[in-house]
Structure 1
Amino acid sequence: MIWWILAGVAAILLFFALNTFRHAVGISTLDDTPKRREERLESHWRILRPEGSGPFPAAILLSGCDGVRDNMTYWAERFVASGRLALIVDSHTPRGLDQLESWRLVCAGQALPGAERAGDLAVALNALGQRADVTDDVVVLGASHGGWTAMEFVAEASSGEVPPGLTKWPAPPESLLESVTAMVLLYPYCGLLNGADKAPWPTDLPVLMVLAEEDRIVDTDDCLAMAETLHAGGAKIETEVLAGAGHGFDQQEKSPLSSLTFDASQRDHTETLANGFLRRVTGHP
């Protein structure tokens, strides 16, 4: 009996190893056309608009691996208060990753890696570009897995490599990238599966990376090292490490047994940092 149990455990571990390798090399089991991907996402994403007819500068928000939580609404409302239209992308619900705790597969790197999810950002940028009430000033805010996604998008768009899971780009990748005026990345994943440093980044895209000193979910040192590598290649990346902060410090909603700790003061400090950064690089908070 013990040998059957050991064989079963070995088979499970082998499956996870092979699945991780599949994601690492960019092999997807499903290919969407850009139109199909947009149709899948559009019925679940949420758009918040400032008062008036516009056109408005905009922001796209990408959640962490556990799906859209209260922090996405908080940041979207802050953007709207500053005069930006905000689009919250829900990558989980259209894929059934909001059911039966299946989002944990995303957090474990077994489903929807950042390189694949970058296709969601591509179609969202294209969709905003078709709206008459949106200008060509679009900021991207990504938290945790969403930050990883945003970084992969930059590398893919820079190289022209189509995100895994898409049959083609929804628009020329250079035009999509040009529409992004700045990025704010909150405690992103920068480990081995993050391939954002595989292609040269544009030298005119300002990026603010806000990291948590006491992060126990992602490795802050990995992000500092990746930021240094990208900066050496000409990327405009600034880093801020919040003393005493932990992963997901801006998120109040959490699952049972979660180690996330909400810290309003760290969230407020991050808002001040982001406002100053965006005002400096885009002229608009």
Structure 2
Amino acid sequence: MRQLNKRRLWLFVLAGFLGVLLLAAALNSLRNWAGIAIDEDTPEQRLALLSPDWRMVPDDAAIAEAGSVLLSGCDGVHDNMDYWGQVLAGRGYPGLIVDSHKPRDFDKLESWRLLCMGQVLPGAERAGDIATAMAESEREDVILLGASHGGWSVLEFLRQSSAGELPPGLSAWPAPARSLHDRIAAAIVIYPYCGVLNGAAEGDWSEMPPILMILAGEDELKVTPACQRMAEDLRERGADLELVLYEDAGHGFEQEERAPFSLLEFRPELREQATEEVNGFLDAHGL
């Protein structure tokens, strides 16, 4: 009997501990949804944080020549960012790949998984990295490209820069918000997160740059239905948005490098198809 009671006590303690963890995660998600950042950087501090780890494609291009800004998914910078950087550079838009992970140590001890769970650096906050990168470019026609979490960040940045709403975690804009917004020539988002934490679908989208959204019909993260609803919402708000759905594609279909034990599948033929979509989209808009 005593042994049974002790076991019940330990189960009760364990259940309580798990309950506290779940409550903490829920409250933290609520904080992120409300746009409340734990830390705040000045534009100079954010630039000093990011610039040592960002890089250009081609690597001999100057930051001031950046014609595109690229943000990876929540697992960090991988080969798909270099691939898209090369595609855009080949069209005359040298790519600035922004690493949001390494400067914050999210590349260590699998801590990037906290981004994937929406517990740290949500898209609205990471949008400040886009503002910092764009402020360093002198181009008047910058293309934004984001995959997964990076796509979420791009959508948030479009809304923030249009409305003049400061990204959480920045103390000030690194350049006037409207000037940054007016320099965005187009946005490309690939299987972005569009769930409840994504607050992009607000306000007037009629003056936004053209947007290409590429979705995966068999997305393992189940983000596609929410993105289809968001795409329709944004169109109703005036967005010029082209939606492409690959019915049999999974999340990360154009990324060859994988995290350990990842079940996601690289689909080179779909990456080629997506490249045609991107080029056709940019051609249609004279870019």
- Same topology, TM > 0.5: yes
2:99 & 2:207 partners in 1: Cα distance?
29
For 2:208 and 2:125, locate their aligned partners in 1 and report how far apart those are by CA, in whole Å.
24
CA distance in 1, matches of 2:61, 2:127: 31
Pair 1:30-2:34 in alignment: no
Which of residues 77, 89, 109 is equivalent to 1:100?
109
Residue 170 of structure 2 aligns to which amino acid in structure 1? Answer: L
Of 42, 45, 48 in structure 2, the residue corresponding to residue 39 of structure 1 is 48
Within 2, Cα distance between the matches of 1:181 and 1:238? 15
Aligned twin of 2:78: 69
Matched, 1:273 2:282: no
Deviations 1:154-180 (A, max 9, x none): 111122111110001111111101111
Equivalent residues of 1:188, 1:218 under 8 A apart: no
Contact 1:187 1:218 (8 Å CA) reproduced: no
Given that 2:148 and 2:192 are in contact with CA atoms closer than 8 Å, whether structure 1 keeps it comes out as yes
What percentage of residue pairs aligned between the two structures are identical?
Answer: 46
Within 5 Å, give how 1:228-267 maps onto structure 2.
Answer: 228-267=232-271
Give the alignment's TM-score, normalised by structure 2: 0.93
**Uncovered stretches (5+) of structure 1, i.e. residues with no partner:** 130-134
Question: Larger C-alpha radius of gyration, 1 or 2?
Answer: 2
CA distance in 2, matches of 1:145, 1:125: 18
For residues 221 and 95 of structure 1, the distance between their equivalents in structure 2, rounded to whole angstroms, comes to 31
**TM-score between the two structures when normalised by the length of structure 1:** 0.93
Question: Per-residue displacement from partner, 1:236-271 (whole Å, max 9, x unpaired)?
Answer: 111000121111000011112212100001000000
Question: Distance between the aligned counterparts of 1:65 and 1:12, measured in 2?
Answer: 22
Q: Residues 231 and 257 (structure 1 numbering): CA distance in 2 closer, same or farther, change over 3 Å?
A: same
Q: Distance in 2 between matches of 1:53 and 1:128?
A: 9
Quote the residue 1:146 is aligned against.
Answer: 150
How far 1:77 moved relative to its partner? 1.4
SS in 2 for 1:12: helix
Is the counterpart of residue 161 in structure 1 residue 165 in structure 2? yes
Alignment map for 1:124-203 (pairs within 5 Å): 124-129=133-138, 135-203=139-207
SS at match of 1:87: strand
Q: Which runs of 5+ in 2 are unaligned?
A: 1-9
The one-letter code of the counterpart of 1:103 is W
Q: Distance in 2 between matches of 1:55 and 1:163?
A: 23
- Residue number among 208, 219, 223 corresponding to 2:223 in the alignment: 219
Q: 1:105 to 1:184 in 2, by over 3 A?
A: same
CA contact 1:65–1:104 (8 Å) conserved in 2: yes
Counterparts in 2 of 1:218 and 1:176: CA distance versus 1, 3 Å = farther
